[in-house]
Amino acid sequence: MANSIIITFTQPAEVNDHIEFKLNVSLGGTINQFVRGNSFKNTRSYPGEVVIGANANAQALNYYNAFIIDYGSSFTVTILANVVTITSIGDEFISDYSITGSSYSTAEIVADPGTDPVPVTWFTSPYPYDGKAFTLDPKFFEITTEATGTYFQFNSTIKTYDFITNAVNIQTIPQKLVPFKGFTNINLGKLIHRLMSKFNEVNESFNQYQYAELSIVCIELLLSNNSIVRSHVSPTIPFIAGLSRGITDFGFLEFNPKPNRVTKNSFAYLNFYIPPGTFEMRTFKNNTLINTEALPIDATTTLCKKVQFNDFIQGDVIEYVIDVIGEENNDAPKKTFILFPSGNFSNMIVWENEFKVQSSIECTGTGVLDPDLEYQSQKIYRNLVEVLEHLSTSKEVKAFIDTGWLLFTDIDTIESLMRSKRVWLVQAEKRISLRPIGKKLPKQDYDNELISYQLEFTINRAYDEETYTL
């Protein structure tokens, strides 16, 4: 089955801009992928290089000529002005096309909509191709067939990005799926979640991580001779870590959408994502608008805004709302905080939440450290007298921290904290690494408006002799 891409050059390339795609070829029942790439240079010295042109049309011509020389035997290639069309031959097909380099506006690449002879009904994606998918949603790709004696070669290419630096990581995962009664399905969300990067340390960066990207090549083959029955290349699907939980086009990446308790000493992280467009964040105090902040019009990452509450007083209700500039939507995403009196203690805890971004809570109750020493010892005789000799000493330090009074709506926040794999106690510039070890939260009476918990952690020390205070 032929497969085409259309490359439209919009301007001359810059040095080291790079266009590439993968050619998928069935060899002995296995789909092999061959990279077909070209880099742009001032002069062509080696195969795979293209001379930079004077304008878009000249750039297209230079690319066309170089591609014909390097890879022409496997493709049908045509050119019209600044547009180059590349079509694979026979059962081979194209996937994972991309443009990288210093200038991402050199060209645009799209799949030829005329590639598939009939609409694809046998491969169903649970995710929208024009929105964002969430990794922890229990959704499945579904594949059906009326044929007998076939299987599916399911190749997933997952592109993830590091926090803040956006360094790219690419994994291609081939899998074979055998249909039962003409049907099979597969969930990729949790796999993508595990592959997505983690932030290195507690930070205040506005830009967090770029959305992960999933592209799929699904091929149905005969078991008898591995010949291709049909194939499908899915459009790229962007993924955000976590659960959608009612989030649609934009919203806060927060496991607990209900109000949270804070004090004047607290800080909070507002994690959110927005599509390209004109959005703003509005701050309300007791239903009165006190601040408006324009948001980036072309954000490609999840965003984080750290907020403080020292300018507010006890009893204030603070709401942060994300909405389109000039609109007032009743269902616009919002996050609410209620100011409580400050406690005798203030311990800020930060953790990695279900969206792989930072959440925080202030514990206003007492804290207790419980060091537990363990000795490896032996008894020896010295001058005919038995003495005890220590060979080594190890220490485990547990921290018991009382949350102080919380709103009943904070329960989900506490559960998110205790499920987390990475937690920090923040003290001025010091970060103490904690791991939750409490196995059970105390029972709470639903008639109560206020609750409190004693949280149990073990401390991951930076070195064996490290000591702590709360």
Return the ∠ at Cα 161 (arms to 234 and 33), rounded to 5°.
45
Please report the pLDDT score of residue 110 as a whole number: 73
pTM here is 0.74
Identify the three-state secondary structure at position 193: helix
Mean pLDDT, residues 193-208 taken together: 95
Query: Rounded to whole angstroms, how far apart are CA atoms 133 and 173?
Result: 19
360 half-sphere exposure, CB direction, 13 A CA radius? 26
Indicate whether 409 pLDDT > 50: yes
What CATH class is the domain 118-244? mainly beta
Lowest mean pLDDT among 88-92, 355-359, 376-380: 88-92
Which tens digit of pLDDT belongs to each residue from 81-130? 888 888 887 667 788 888 887 665 677 777 654 444 444 678 999 987 66
pLDDT band at 307 (very low <50, low <70, confident <90, very high): very high
Query: Rounded to whole angstroms, how far apart are CA atoms 5 and 115?
Result: 9
Lowest mean pLDDT among 52-56, 88-92, 283-287: 88-92
Please report the pLDDT score of residue 113 as a whole number: 47
Average pLDDT score over the chain: 88
> 461 or 54: which carries more pLDDT confidence?
54
Mean pLDDT, residues 393-402 taken together: 87
Q: How many helices (H) and strands (E) does the chain have?
A: 3, 35
Per the CB < 8 A criterion, the answer to whether 397 and 175 are in contact is no
Helix H segments across 15-76?
56-71
The tokens for 254 are 């927060």
CATH code linked to domain 1-117:
2.60.40
What is the DSSP annotation of 282-312? EEEETTEEEEEEE--TT--EEEEEEEE-TTS
Spatial CB neighbours of 45, under 8 Å, sequence gap ≥ 6: none
Ranges of CATH 2.60.40 domains, the chain: 1-117, 118-244
Considering all CA atoms of the chain, what is the largest pairwise distance in Å, rounded to the nearest integer? 99
> CA of 134: how far to CAs of 175, 193, 199, 355, 419, in Å?
22, 9, 18, 9, 19
Please report the pLDDT score of residue 78 as a whole number: 84
Please report the pLDDT score of residue 114 as a whole number: 46
Query: Rounded to whole angstroms, how far apart are CA atoms 75 and 215?
Result: 22
Which tens digit of pLDDT belongs to each residue from 227-265? 878 878 788 899 999 999 878 789 999 999 999 999 999
